Chains A and B, each alone.
Chain A
Amino acid sequence: MLRIEGLRVAVEGKRILDGVDLEIAAGETHAVMGPNGSGKSTLAHVLAGREGYEVEDGRITFMGEDLLAMEPEERAAAGLFLAMQYPVEIPGVSNMYFLRQAINAVRKARGEPEIAAGAFMKMLREKAKLVGVPEELLRRDLNTDFSGGEKKRNEILQLAMLEPRLAILDETDSGLDIDALKAVAGAVNGLRTPERAFLVITHYQRLLEYIVPDRVHVMVRGRIRRSGGRELALELEQRGYEQFAAEAA
């Protein structure tokens, strides 16, 4: 589904990703772990198409298409979703209206009919309940004055509503209390199907107890230094990233 080859990315002349290779097949869940500043969010942003990153080298194909040639909205329509580490507050636009716009934009781009108001509300209520987003939050302005945890839950609500093919979760677990973590993990697990893939960026192996990954990758200084099974996360928890720092140097 997703294939990243030799990806080199710089920001303002500074190399951040230094040859990333990663392949994710449909139905798989991959975790990326790594120290602060190692380039995890940069990778997520480049995948979603954020401006301001210079791709110096490498290729990314998504569903057989050249991802780097697509606009962010085209990537969304193609089924890519990024739950952001820092969701943006947008005062003046209600959360509910935004969700409907997003769904219809994606449908329109795929040549599907718009969702009917009734069907939308029904779906929204259902998913909001599943993720634990109260009604009140749906009527408020998008992310505006939401608590950290509410923002993260709202990202997962969008994920559940948009039903993407590949969902990237950038530290969705950071700042969540234990109940919220379980709710989010439950929602994600409910969305795991043989057609859908997940890329989960996290600092904590605890999340991986709930969302059990097929592969774990360790990113240090802009490159994936080691990949392994679920046990790699446990090893990291005990030994930290020191060993990789030496390898990277």
Chain B
Amino acid sequence: MAAARRMIEPAPFYGELFARERARLPGHGRSELERVREEAFARFVALGLPTQKAEVWKYSPIARFANREMVVAEAAVPRLEDVSAWFGGGPATRRLIFANGHLVPALSHVGGLPEGVRVTGLVRAIEEWPEKVAEALAGCDPECSFTQLNTALARSGAWIEIADGVRLDEPLQLLFVHEGGESAAMTHPRILLRLGRGARLHLIETHAGTGDGHCFVNLVCQMALAPEAELTLDRLELGAAGTTLLSRTLVELAAGARIRQTAVALGGGFLRNETEVRLGGRGGEAILNGLCMPRGEEHADTLVRIHHEAEDCHSDQFFKGVVEDRARAVFAGKIIVHRGAQKTNAYQANDNLLLSDRAEVDSKPELEIYADDVKCSHGATCGDLDEGALFYLRARGLPREVAASLLVYAFANEVIERMADERLRALTRRAVLDRVPGGAALEAEGLL
């Protein structure tokens, strides 16, 4: 009975939609992939959709968005000038550009990459290596209904594979534009990434919501890093009011592998960002930085799970929230130190600025430790702007509103400066200044 309340049945339209769409999905006619999709869909139906009775969805009424009548998003063909505003990297940066979840070949360019680097859209990957794709999808994340839904319906995405020892210095960008439609349109992009031994990649992922309508994005990123591989991931989400974005990033790190992720969520009606990292080999490192700034009626939910499964690994979570109006920020971060994972270093901080009486922050840091020789710490803060700092700036002549905006910017900037890509940092800073009173003036006066 209790279990029934934690999950509810998916709305009937899902069954009809899957029956109708399956023949249009890439890989149709390839028995191994079809089987994986069927199994995933069955699993999705069996699991159901989480209600707020489910612990990890306590503050986020996802069923409200996921169980309304939706259609599959149709392809759109944006022009270069519609997407270039969100370009990160430099002149040699290769990009895959997606509109409403469909790859836009005319704007994408991944040619001329060094030997040992494979970057293609998912459709092409399925054509060329159907078994490999089926194998990667099969059995992935069996307890998460949204991953199962993604596996069943993924129509596009990216396949990124870097061979042993190959280091790609120029960043690679995945740029998503999500256009809101009259009835909510859903997309299920899937990113499959593998870094070989000692390989290195800097990935930029950007999401931009446009239009006044609704869209539902259910993104799954599956990343596997071989020993000593290094991944830098900069993610920027600039959703619109009607954007519902779920992203689930699953990272497996072998010995000595490292990930450094900085994710900034600066808009979107309903955002849920999940990152689950497994440190499976000795000496791995996971550094996760995050910032969200919900305002108005926006909802930004961050879930982090770090599994220390091997000895001598390091993890560091640095998350901040700035919450205004009637918005809500949720943070749930858990560090799980498994038996035998001695000499673990694991840190977690979640600091929030609560800028309005009606805004809300729910922060839940958790530690679960089954080893004895570990160093772990966690802490969460939630408060108003520092009165002493505000007075200091005002005493030097800055009007209250400008001083407050400057302090909010400074607070956010501590996360932004951890993004690796300079152009994305600038883009993000401008987006932050767009969100604070008098921000344009601060920018004009050379803050950036």
Name B403's closest neighbour in chain A (CB-CB).
A73
Chain B contacts with A in 390-411, Cβ cutoff 8 A:
391-400, 402-403, 406-407, 409-411
Q: How far is the CB of A43 from chain B (nearest CB, A)?
A: 15
Name A114's closest neighbour in chain B (CB-CB).
B445
Interface string of A86-114 (1 = CB under 8 A from B): 01101111000110111111100100000
| B111 interfacial contact with A, CB 8 Å | no
Report the separation of the CA atoms of residues A50 and B400 in the bound assembly, to the nearest whole angstrom: 12
Q: Decide if B395 touches A48 in the complex (CB within 8 Å).
A: yes
Among A50, A73, A90, A104, point to the contact of B445 (Cβ < 8 A): A104
Report the separation of the CA atoms of residues A51 and B412 in the bound assembly, to the nearest whole angstrom: 25
Q: Decide if B414 touches A91 in the complex (CB within 8 Å).
A: yes
Which residues of A lie under 8 Å from residue B442 when comparing CB positions? Answer: 101
| B4 interfacial contact with A, CB 8 Å | no
| B82 interfacial contact with A, CB 8 Å | no
Among B387, B392, B399, B412, point to the contact of A90 (Cβ < 8 A): B392
Q: How far is the CB of B397 from chain A (nearest CB, A)?
A: 4
Name A94's closest neighbour in chain B (CB-CB).
B447
Report the separation of the CA atoms of residues A87 and B393 in the bound assembly, to the nearest whole angstrom: 11
Q: Decide if B396 touches A102 in the complex (CB within 8 Å).
A: yes
Among A88, A92, A97, A101, point to the contact of B392 (Cβ < 8 A): A88
Interface string of A16-57 (1 = CB under 8 A from B): 000000000000000000000000000000001111100000
Chain A contacts with B in 62-102, Cβ cutoff 8 A:
71-73, 75-77, 81-82, 84, 87-88, 90-93, 97-98, 100-102
Among A49, A52, A82, A105, point to the contact of B398 (Cβ < 8 A): A105
Name A82's closest neighbour in chain B (CB-CB).
B395
Q: Decide if A84 touches B392 in the complex (CB within 8 Å).
A: yes
Report the separation of the CA atoms of residues A72 and B397 in the bound assembly, to the nearest whole angstrom: 7
Chain B contacts with A in 340-398, Cβ cutoff 8 A:
386-389, 391-398
Q: A91-B410, A92-B414, A93-B406 are in contact. Are A52 and B387 (CB under 8 A)?
A: yes
Query: 22 A-B pairs, CB-CB below 8 angstroms?
Result: A48-B395, A50-B395, A51-B391, A71-B394, A72-B394, A73-B399, A73-B400, A75-B395, A87-B392, A88-B388, A88-B389, A90-B389, A90-B392, A92-B412, A93-B409, A97-B445, A98-B396, A101-B442, A102-B397, A105-B398, A105-B399, A106-B397
| A124 interfacial contact with B, CB 8 Å | no
| A162 interfacial contact with B, CB 8 Å | yes
Interface centre among B386, B388, B411 (most CB of A within 10 A): B388
Among B386, B400, B407, B446, point to the contact of A71 (Cβ < 8 A): B400
Report the separation of the CA atoms of residues A102 and B393 in the bound assembly, to the nearest whole angstrom: 8
Instruction: Taking A71-B394, A92-B411, A101-B402 as given, write out 10 further A-B residue pairs in contact, using a Cβ cutoff of 8 Å, ordered by the A residue number.
Output: A48-B391, A71-B400, A72-B394, A73-B400, A82-B395, A91-B410, A98-B396, A105-B397, A158-B396, A162-B396
Which residues of A lie under 8 Å from residue B386 when comparing CB positions? Answer: 88
Interface string of B208-239 (1 = CB under 8 A from A): 00000000000000000000000000000000
Report the separation of the CA atoms of residues A108 and B410 in the bound assembly, to the nearest whole angstrom: 23
Q: How far is the CB of A30 from chain B (nearest CB, A)?
A: 20
Chain B contacts with A in 73-120, Cβ cutoff 8 A:
none
| B413 interfacial contact with A, CB 8 Å | yes
Report the separation of the CA atoms of residues A49 and B393 in the bound assembly, to the nearest whole angstrom: 12
Report the separation of the CA atoms of residues A67 and B410 in the bound assembly, to the nearest whole angstrom: 31
Which residues of A lie under 8 Å from residue B397 when comparing CB positions? Answer: 73, 76-77, 102-103, 105-106, 109, 162
Among B398, B412, B414, point to the contact of A73 (Cβ < 8 A): B398
Q: A90-B389, A91-B414 are in contact. Are A73 and B447 (CB under 8 A)?
A: no
Closest 9 A/B residue pairs (Cβ): A92-B410, A76-B397, A105-B397, A72-B394, A102-B396, A106-B397, A92-B413, A88-B392, A73-B394
Which residues of B lie under 8 Å from residue A71 when comparing CB positions? Answer: 394, 400
Q: How far is the CB of B426 from chain A (nearest CB, A)?
A: 15
Report the separation of the CA atoms of residues A78 and B254 in the bound assembly, to the nearest whole angstrom: 63
Q: A90-B407, A97-B447, A104-B445 are in contact. Are A72 and B395 (CB under 8 A)?
A: yes
Which residues of B lie under 8 Å from residue A93 when comparing CB positions? Answer: 406, 409-410
Which residues of B lie under 8 Å from residue A106 when comparing CB positions? Answer: 396-397
Name A96's closest neighbour in chain B (CB-CB).
B446
Report the separation of the CA atoms of residues A104 and B410 in the bound assembly, to the nearest whole angstrom: 19
Report the separation of the CA atoms of residues A77 and B359 in the bound assembly, to the nearest whole angstrom: 34
Among B400, B407, B446, point to the contact of A97 (Cβ < 8 A): B446
Which residues of B lie under 8 Å from residue A88 when comparing CB positions? Answer: 386, 388-389, 391-392
Which residues of B lie under 8 Å from residue A98 when comparing CB positions? Answer: 393, 396
Q: Decide if B446 touches A100 in the complex (CB within 8 Å).
A: yes
Interface centre among A88, A103, A109, A162 (most CB of B within 10 A): A88
Name B387's closest neighbour in chain A (CB-CB).
A51
Q: How far is the CB of B71 from chain A (nearest CB, A)?
A: 44
Name A88's closest neighbour in chain B (CB-CB).
B392
Report the separation of the CA atoms of residues A138 and B407 in the bound assembly, to the nearest whole angstrom: 18
Q: Decide if B394 touches A92 in the complex (CB within 8 Å).
A: no
Q: Decide if B402 touches A105 in the complex (CB within 8 Å).
A: yes
Which residues of B lie under 8 Å from residue A109 when comparing CB positions? Answer: 397
Among A49, A90, A91, A92, point to the contact of B395 (Cβ < 8 A): A49
Name B448's closest neighbour in chain A (CB-CB).
A97
Q: How far is the CB of B128 from chain A (nearest CB, A)?
A: 47
Report the separation of the CA atoms of residues A90 and B447 in the bound assembly, to the nearest whole angstrom: 14
Q: How far is the CB of A107 from chain B (nearest CB, A)?
A: 9
Q: A84-B392, A97-B446 are in contact. Are A102 and B398 (CB under 8 A)?
A: yes
Report the separation of the CA atoms of residues A88 and B393 in the bound assembly, to the nearest whole angstrom: 9
Name A90's closest neighbour in chain B (CB-CB).
B389
Which residues of B lie under 8 Å from residue A100 when comparing CB positions? Answer: 445-446
Q: How far is the CB of B392 from chain A (nearest CB, A)?
A: 4
Report the separation of the CA atoms of residues A171 and B389 in the bound assembly, to the nearest whole angstrom: 19
Report the separation of the CA atoms of residues A92 and B417 in the bound assembly, to the nearest whole angstrom: 9
Name A143's closest neighbour in chain B (CB-CB).
B392
Q: How far is the CB of A45 from chain B (nearest CB, A)?
A: 8
Report the separation of the CA atoms of residues A87 and B395 in the bound assembly, to the nearest whole angstrom: 11
Which residues of A lie under 8 Å from residue B395 when comparing CB positions? Answer: 48-50, 72-73, 75-76, 81-82, 84
